[in-house]
Structure 1
Amino acid sequence: MVWVAVSETAALEDWKARVARHGVLMVGALAVIVVLSLLALRGIRRERLAAANLEMLNKRLYSTNLELERYAEVAAHHLQEPLRIINSYAQLLESRFSPKLQGECKEFLDFLVQGSREMKELLSDLQFYTALDPIGTPVTTSADAGHCAREALKDLKNTPQIETVSLGKLPTVKAVPRQLTILFQLLIHNALTYTSPDRVPVVTVSAEPDEAGWRFTVRDNGIGVEPAYRERIFRMFERLHPRGKYPGTGIGLAICRKIVERHGGRIWCDSNPGEGSAFSFTLPAAPVPTP
């Protein structure tokens, strides 16, 4: 064994060098930690600022929507009376003078009567749309979907080919009963409106469990919808066909969407031209009663 003598001074210098190297590494590591912390804090601040801005924008949007709906509600209400007068006089003219009129005069009177009827229907739908509670309003009632669907069929009893509609077993859900009835009524009426001329209508209403609660489907074998228009048909006043070919105000499916979203669900359409349509929507299950 060979012993190597190391002076005290050399050992001290070596120790100082090591300490210096470790110190530099520690300072560097601390600097990196500080920089990363500052970046993280800056990111958090940006996220909080973005969230605050988003919340402010959402509040403004909500307020604007309420204002627009209130404006539409007031406008529809105040238009009802003058429209009622126009419609009354148009019907009076029709009953008294229609048999005596010919050519353009009779055609113009028919336009007036039909136009006033369509406007009355439009204002009625618009009033109902604006009267619906805003999305996010809590729903505290339960509804027997089977009963609501049967009530919808009663409301549609004078609709041609209503006997072709069949109802499956439908559950009880968390919903406003009258609004659920109107939802079924509009979707069934839509199915019986856009029928195919080469086959007898077949309309079914069914339900099955879904992760959101229940998924309902109103399925028909009608003319179908182009894939590009599956989303557009739920917009207000969106019509894919001339009014003379298929009646309606262009508000029905917009009302359906608002009812479903007001209940915390979603609605969509699966369809192809000539293959019929399936309108599906989700609703939360009714709460289980406590013993």
Structure 2
Amino acid sequence: MSTELRRHLRGPRGFLFAMMGFYALVVGGYGAFATMADYSETFNSTERAIRDYVRLLEEHSKRTIDSTDLLILRLSDRIISKGQLPQPGDYDTERRLMAAMANGSPQTETMYLVDPSGKLFLASRPIPQHATDATGQDYFNVLKNGHENMFIGKVTRDPFTTNFTFPVARRITDAQGRFLGIAVATIPNLYFKEFYHNLAVGSTPAMGVYKLDGAILVREPITRDDDVINRNMAGSDLFTKQLPLSSINTYRGKLDNDNVQRVISYRKIENPPLLVWMGISEADALSDWYWRAWRNAGIAFFTLLVMSGLSWLVLRAVGHEEIARDDLERANDSLRRSNADLEQFAYIASHDLQEPLRQIGSYVQLLERRYKDKLDSDAITFIDYTVEGVKRLQSLIHELLAYSSVGTRRSPFAQTNLTDLARRAVLHLSGDIKASGAEVLVETLPTLSVDAPQIEAVFQQLVSNGLRFQSKGAVPRLRIWAEEHKDDWVISVKDNGIGIDAQYFDRIFLIFKRLHSRTDYPGDGIGLALCQRVIERHGGRIWVESEPGQGAVFRFLLPKAIHQISLPSGTP
């Protein structure tokens, strides 16, 4: 491998090429495995389906033959009760009766009677001239000689309709056992064809009902050159290879009358002695599988194209990202230095401003005491304004210093009972509480890992707000409680004060933002901003729920597993 190629494949490029190769291997391997597993399952499901279908065909064949035999028995019993075959004078009546019986039986094509000499003399349809001799039918000699009482014949052309049918015949004897004739009913191939066409057996289905000697009763499809009447299936693979192994089985193979590979299932029936089978061509069985296989191959190819395109885009972006990362690191270093300088400036400014302010206040008050008698009322008022402004500025600087130091001058997190913190905060405000006659209820709060002084300051600020923001003459009532959730606790401080309009819910947490004048409600507009900064440092959030005149509920969320959040130094 050349030096240039090795250099090209190092780092992110080499990783991306390796990832692409691995992805192609995984997609190809999994695709092949899934496709073959789907192939196997498709055949298994086809075999299960064809076994179910052949059971249905078995039941259908038995019911069809049994129903036809019952029909013949009704006709035979009528003749036996009279002791003789119908006479020429009764032919019209008997023909109408037989036609009604045949038409009322959906599986019956034609019913007819054969006398002992083999002459077909009465039927449910008009008898063609060429169809009066039944001596050549397979059922005639068997029943005439008394070998059986009921016989199922092989497939033939119905002498009346020329459709492929097979006969169900029964021997008729009188009370003395004398042979009177044969009653026959034919069952059309079409009746079975309609049955299996209602099943989901594909575009080239196949089925058959054979006698156990190989004679064909029903078979579909029947090709133009297929001599089913004179053909016997005893030499077919079904009889010579499959049936000796098992009386019930499912296998893959081809039929003797076509060259279609099929999934074939068969069942041997003892009574009546028949062999029924059905087949689904493998092409029909796999049609959905072919579609799924091509679809999956297309999806895999498309995803490989997408991955290749994305990899190319990533490779292009790698160089830009390295440059951007270097720029970002330099910017972060500059920002950290700026934040540190800003924090130091805020602290020094807040700290160093207090001394000049104290001197200003002291000297102005000294002027008032020494020269009070020499100053007019306007001068005294101006001095009062100055002293008040100095005090307010000192308070503002103190709170600004506290706000700026939340992220830096802090205590370590420790397991602390919040009930104790809330009660200490209330104790600090005992003077205001006593003066206003307020009622403050502190319920049991949880123990969490917190910065105790900062959380105590939050309680003190929220309680102080609840005491201050009251209607004139109102008695403050405050309640502090906690609600446990899956991963956190929600602490609530509720008051009965003047309330807050919903449009100001976000604004009140901004630093120096006030909703009222200082003459109505004293304060500097830093308290709630300080609370929000403390709660965010603890990984939580704070919000308010209120309506004007209905009081307010300040809630803050603290995670059960609190991880200290590093706030940007020196940023509000």
TM-score of the two chains, using structure 1 as the length reference: 0.77
Q: 1:60 to 1:120 in 2, by over 3 A?
A: same
Of the three residues 73, 92, 96, the one matched with 2:347 is 73
How far did residue 101 of structure 1 move? 4.3
Q: Do 1:172 and 1:285's aligned partners in 2 also have CA atoms closer than 8 Å? A: no
How far did residue 94 of structure 1 move? 3.8
Of the three residues 299, 305, 324, the one matched with 1:35 is 305
Q: Do 2:494 and 2:552's aligned partners in 1 also have CA atoms closer than 8 Å? A: yes
CA offsets, 1:65-89, max 9 Å, x none?
Answer: 5543332222111111111111222
Q: 1-side partners of 2:411 and 2:353: how far apart?
A: 31
Of the three residues 197, 202, 221, the one matched with 2:477 is 202
What secondary structure does 1:196 align onto?
coil
Tell me which protein shows more strand as a share of its residues: 2
Q: Which runs of 5+ in 1 are unaligned?
A: 2-26
- 2:526 aligns with 251
1:93 equivalent in alignment to 2:363: no
Taking CA–CA contacts closer than 8 Å with sequence separation of 6 or more, which of the two structures ends up with the larger relative contact order?
Answer: 1
Q: 2-side partners of 1:54 and 1:170: how far apart?
A: 48
CA offsets, 1:118-167, max 9 Å, x none?
Answer: 011111111111122259x9953121111111111121122132642111
Q: 2-side partners of 1:196 and 1:57: how far apart?
A: 54
- 1:20 aligns with none
What secondary structure does 1:247 align onto?
coil
The one-letter amino acid of 1:86's match is I
Q: 2-side partners of 1:209 and 1:253: how far apart?
A: 24
Q: Do 2:438 and 2:477's aligned partners in 1 also have CA atoms closer than 8 Å? A: no
The one-letter amino acid of 2:426's match is L
- 2:5 aligns with none
1:224 equivalent in alignment to 2:494: no
The one-letter amino acid of 1:41's match is S
Of the three residues 513, 538, 556, the one matched with 1:281 is 556
- 1:143 aligns with 416
Of the three residues 375, 386, 389, the one matched with 1:115 is 389
What secondary structure does 2:430 align onto?
coil
How far did residue 210 of structure 1 move? 2.7
CA offsets, 1:24-66, max 9 Å, x none?
Answer: xxx9988745531133336667699599699769947973555
Q: 1-side partners of 2:334 and 2:521: how far apart?
A: 34
Number of aligned residue pairs: give it: 265
Q: 1:37 to 1:196 in 2, by over 3 A?
A: same
Q: 1-side partners of 2:307 and 2:555: how far apart?
A: 49
Q: 2-side partners of 1:139 and 1:206: how far apart?
A: 25
Q: 1:103 to 1:156 in 2, by over 3 A?
A: same
Of the three residues 87, 100, 104, the one matched with 2:378 is 104
Q: 1:274 to 1:139 in 2, by over 3 A?
A: same
- 1:24 aligns with none
Q: Do 2:494 and 2:551's aligned partners in 1 also have CA atoms closer than 8 Å? A: yes
Q: 1:286 to 1:88 in 2, by over 3 A?
A: farther
Q: Do 2:357 and 2:394's aligned partners in 1 also have CA atoms closer than 8 Å? A: yes
Q: Do 1:148 and 1:184's aligned partners in 2 also have CA atoms closer than 8 Å? A: yes
Q: 1-side partners of 2:557 and 2:465: how far apart?
A: 18
Q: 2-side partners of 1:61 and 1:190: how far apart?
A: 39
Please identify, of 143-152 and 191-200, the stretch whose mean Cα deviation from structure 2 is larger: 191-200
How far did residue 208 of structure 1 move? 1.3
Q: 2-side partners of 1:261 and 1:168: how far apart?
A: 24
Q: Do 2:443 and 2:480's aligned partners in 1 also have CA atoms closer than 8 Å? A: yes
- 1:267 aligns with 542
Q: 1-side partners of 2:372 and 2:515: how far apart?
A: 33
TM-score of the two chains, using structure 2 as the length reference: 0.41
What secondary structure does 1:75 align onto?
helix
What secondary structure does 1:158 align onto?
helix
Of the three residues 72, 78, 84, the one matched with 2:358 is 84
How far did residue 206 of structure 1 move? 1.0
Percent pairwise identity? 35
Q: Do 2:437 and 2:475's aligned partners in 1 also have CA atoms closer than 8 Å? A: no
Q: 2-side partners of 1:143 and 1:67: how far apart?
A: 34
The one-letter amino acid of 1:142's match is Q
The one-letter amino acid of 1:164's match is E
Q: 1-side partners of 2:404 and 2:362: how far apart?
A: 26
How far did residue 211 of structure 1 move? 3.6
Of the three residues 383, 396, 405, the one matched with 1:131 is 405
- 1:187 aligns with 462
Please identify, of 204-213 and 273-282, the stretch whose mean Cα deviation from structure 2 is larger: 204-213
Q: 2-side partners of 1:210 and 1:58: how far apart?
A: 40
What secondary structure does 1:205 align onto?
strand
Q: Do 1:207 and 1:215's aligned partners in 2 also have CA atoms closer than 8 Å? A: yes
How far did residue 238 of structure 1 move? 0.9
Q: Do 2:438 and 2:476's aligned partners in 1 also have CA atoms closer than 8 Å? A: no
Q: 1-side partners of 2:558 and 2:355: how far apart?
A: 37
Q: Do 1:134 and 1:262's aligned partners in 2 also have CA atoms closer than 8 Å? A: no
Q: 2-side partners of 1:61 and 1:220: how far apart?
A: 45
What secondary structure does 2:416 align onto?
strand
Cα RMSD over matched residues? 3.7
Q: Which runs of 5+ in 2 are unaligned?
A: 1-224, 226-296, 563-572
Q: 1:52 to 1:270 in 2, by over 3 A?
A: farther
Q: Do 1:172 and 1:286's aligned partners in 2 also have CA atoms closer than 8 Å? A: no
Q: Do 2:544 and 2:555's aligned partners in 1 also have CA atoms closer than 8 Å? A: yes
The one-letter amino acid of 1:166's match is L
Q: 2-side partners of 1:279 and 1:254: how far apart?
A: 13
Q: 1-side partners of 2:321 and 2:411: how far apart?
A: 29
- 1:154 aligns with 427
Please identify, of 188-197 and 69-78, the stretch whose mean Cα deviation from structure 2 is larger: 69-78
